[in-house]
Structure 1
Amino acid sequence: MNSASPHVDVLAIGAHMGDEVAWGMSLAAHVRQGRRVGLLHLTPGEKGHPSKSPSEYADQKRDEAQQCATAL
């Protein structure tokens, strides 16, 4: 972590984008208590859609993860 990195109190780490949905209530509780929450996804889960290309699905998952982070 360098000085330009934002400080977080809670770092939620998930294998795939979208995993944060499972922890949403816990993360929201931390935010309500004034804690800064960060999300780290190890992969976008880009191979998880039967008909979309991996890059198209990864873009969709990034957009969804950003919406989730904004909502928190």
Structure 2
Amino acid sequence: MDLSNLNLIKIPSEIGELTHLKTLDLSKNQLSELPDSIAKLADLEEINLSKNNFRAFPLGAFRINVR
């Protein structure tokens, strides 16, 4: 899902309902935080968060699976 370059300042918590999402591009926005529900994206393989205003990420937001 490409949500890049939209000047987004917030991602709705409902993003966590997209459990089969494989890729998420949130680059080039004005984001400073992610909703805790981002951790529900169990099938997420790739996320681009570049060129935003992040200072920290929620603990446990991403689970890393090493294969």
- Shorter chain as denominator, the TM-score bin is 0.3 to 0.5
TM-score by length of 2: 0.34
Higher helix share: 1
TM-score by length of 1: 0.33
Structure having the higher strand fraction is 1
